[in-house]
Chains A and B, each alone.
Chain A
């Protein structure tokens, strides 16, 4: 297989180049600098973490994040050790790919690992697939800066799995084969349904993938100083390699390895934090409340609300809600998208086709829930630990979004033992972040290419008449194309704010995919018209609402905010005694505001200001998706769909007539 050789050669060349680049790092990293000041938007929770300012005007009013302290602080990684760890991870996962490539002979092997993954393995893989770099860097960062709200934010990510466990996992294992389209096309007209399901899958995967890729590039620039473009290409080549050659087997093992590394890292770091706290949780919380730095940080935060707090009151406030999540409706809307969207995510659904039985599917969700839940509980220790030992001021000096808190904590906790241990621990966590990105993006590429190759090519274009060889070739070719597109989108989106794309992916999955999955599985009267109207309305409503929401840029709103800043700054300057000028920071803010105030025009869809005030569309689009699906089915009743419900229902409950698993 010459392609394999070329690929291995290319990745080796890339690794060597990365190592060589690292040696040149004696000069200050030019690539890292812009990424430092850009709010690090690297995916899921950090998505919102990245932009604490609710709108552009507010971010202009608080110029602090845009212009850090005159002496730029940086998280210093030991390049040799870090690159070594990266290479170790690449080497291990490459070994898995080579082994997996030999196992992948049929389409079932490629998409579903032949159904030969055990419940325990699948549980770890689900956890590995789900916990993005943003979960592990972003959530603990949020906790370290905003206390209680950061922790509250993480709860929905676990609760989402109750829906997965109770509603979709077992029926999907029993009713489906490789994709969302398989479940939906059972008792409907297969061609249009598969086509729509595939479009929805590709849309959700693209949103999520873009956010992850851009995040990956910025994170790598921040951590090891690899330039943005090079990290996107590097991560992209590896991701394509895993999927094209190893299919689901390799993707699963990359996810398992990553989940193992992540849990070990989080556990070890929490253990070190607890040693410092003398294993006394009450004492740990007392330390938070009585820390003068945290008190000072909180009183500045609440000052924005016009509330004045000081001393222990301010410390206590850190453990209370409302420092970060200010809009309750937005929060509830996001919760709905999370709780319902996770179960509609194509890459999560796909993981249930890899296990042999419904029992294994059930077991895998429960294992995943314990891993994911355990991890989010540990993030409290990491986040609060970082707030205590590094102080919120120290964390924001490195990264205003708080995304570096965990890594800084690892370095400091390790350095307290010996300096080299700090470097090793930091390098280890950087490598975990890298493995995390690889695991998540591989799962997404696989889901998108399965939708295109299996649903569109094999079942719509070829009417299901394609032999195994052709199916596997189609799957590999599509994965290659999807991966290549992922790289190109990643490169093109460098300067874009992609934070809202994660929320959008969950909203589309919750409003488009989940209603039709639930109704297909549980409602006798459901049919083709219902699937299509549900998918269309749910998807269009969530995308449409985001397009008119505050997530978009509104030049006139930005200009109006900037004008206020200009007025405030000029007033401030006028109030100064003669001869004195504004501080450097204020002067910069004034200059920037003057430029921004010139902006004119409309948002992408031609609006002056947002039509819809929430950032998360779920609260409107989810009910719309359900209603459209139900009304569509009722408007165009179909006898055949109703008659076939018995079959669907018996199948999903008993597993009768299910494809048998292949032993590996």
Chain B
């Protein structure tokens, strides 16, 4: 597998790459931290604020159940949003970068 030689340093300094890298880092770590915080609210909340979890919302269904269920939808939501942004922005920037470099 003969690999093409790239000037990695030059690519890393390319404004398109810098833009891609800034956008991606902010997005990925931002949403990752959000999802972690949202998730840990569940075990922490269930242990230290059980009163809130017991509040009935719809019939006998309480806040705790709805909150646990919401974890699934929030996770799916982040996944879909990421996929949307990645397909729209990140992949486009990557393509443009590769075109610009004539690779």
Contacts and interface: CB of A to CB of B under 8 A. Distances in A.
Contact of A319 (B9, B31, B39, B65): B65
Contacts of A166: 28-29, 31-32, 35, 78, 82
Nearest to B5: A657
B8 A155 contact: no
A659 B4 CA distance: 11
Contact of B36 (A339, A376, A644, A655): A339
Contacts of B1: 659-660
Most chain-B CB neighbours within 10 Å: which of A159, A285, A377? A159
Interface of B is mostly: helix
Interface string B38-80: 0110111011101001100011111011001101100110111
Interface stretch (A396-404, A494-502, A646-654): A646-654
A321 B46 contact: yes
Contacts of A319: 60-62, 64-65
A339 B94 contact: no
A169 to B, nearest CB: 10
A155 B75 CA distance: 10
B17 A316 contact: no
Given A148-B68, A289-B60, A316-B60, A156 B39 contact: yes
B91 interface: yes
Contacts of B35: 159, 162-163, 166
B64 A167 contact: no
Interface stretch (A97-105, A189-197, A247-255, A324-332): A324-332
B28 A373 contact: no
Contact of B9 (A156, A322, A370, A646): A646
A369 B75 contact: yes
Interface in B1-37: 1, 3-4, 6, 8-9, 11-12, 17, 20-21, 24-25, 28-29, 31-32, 35-36
Given A319-B65, A321-B50, A366-B83, A649 B12 contact: yes
Q: How large is the interface on A (under 10, 10 to 19, 20 to 34, 35 or more residues)?
A: 35 or more
A74 interface: no
Nearest to B87: A359
B64 A656 contact: no
Contact of B3 (A156, A161, A328, A657): A657
A320 interface: yes
Contacts of B68: 148, 151-152, 155
Nearest to B48: A328
Interface of A is mostly: helix
A165 interface: yes
A657 B4 contact: yes
Contact of A653 (B6, B17, B39, B54): B17
Nearest to B73: A373
A602 B61 CA distance: 48
B42 A654 contact: no
A332 B32 contact: no
Given A335-B40, A373-B72, A322 B46 contact: yes
Contacts of B31: 162, 166
Nearest to A286: B60
B62 to A, nearest CB: 6
Interface string A622-664: 0000000000000000000000101101110111110110000
Given A159-B71, A166-B32, A646 B98 contact: no
Contact of B43 (A152, A654, A659): A152
Contact of B79 (A156, A167, A369): A369
Contacts of A165: 79, 82
A159 B60 CA distance: 26
Interface in A112-170: 148, 151-152, 155-156, 158-159, 161-163, 165-167
B101 to A, nearest CB: 9
A366 B75 CA distance: 10
A165 B35 CA distance: 12
Given A319-B65, A320-B54, A373-B76, A657 B6 contact: yes
Contacts of A437: none
Contacts of B21: 649, 653
A166 B85 CA distance: 12
B55 to A, nearest CB: 10
A71 interface: no
Nearest to A149: B46
A321 B53 contact: yes
B44 A328 contact: yes
A417 interface: no
Interface in A351-377: 359, 362-363, 365-366, 369-370, 373, 376-377
Contacts of A167: 28, 32
A320 B62 contact: yes
B46 A646 contact: no
A507 B25 CA distance: 26
A385 to B, nearest CB: 15
Contact of A155 (B6, B32, B71, B97): B71
A654 B98 contact: yes
A365 B25 CA distance: 19
A27 interface: no
Most chain-B CB neighbours within 10 Å: which of A152, A162, A649? A162
Contacts of B64: 148, 152, 319-321
Interface of B: 1, 3-4, 6, 8-9, 11-12, 17, 20-21, 24-25, 28-29, 31-32, 35-36, 39-40, 42-44, 46-48, 50, 53-54, 58-62, 64-65, 68-69, 71-72, 75-76, 78-80, 82-83, 86-87, 91, 94, 97-98, 103
17 contacts: A159-B75, A162-B31, A167-B32, A285-B59, A285-B60, A316-B60, A320-B53, A321-B53, A339-B39, A366-B79, A369-B79, A370-B76, A373-B72, A377-B69, A654-B11, A654-B17, A654-B98
Given A161-B75, A332-B44, 14 more contacts: A151-B65, A155-B72, A162-B31, A166-B82, A282-B58, A282-B60, A319-B60, A320-B53, A321-B47, A332-B47, A365-B79, A373-B75, A649-B21, A655-B94
Nearest 8 A-B pairs (CB), nearest first? A328-B47, A321-B46, A647-B8, A646-B12, A162-B35, A159-B39, A646-B8, A282-B59
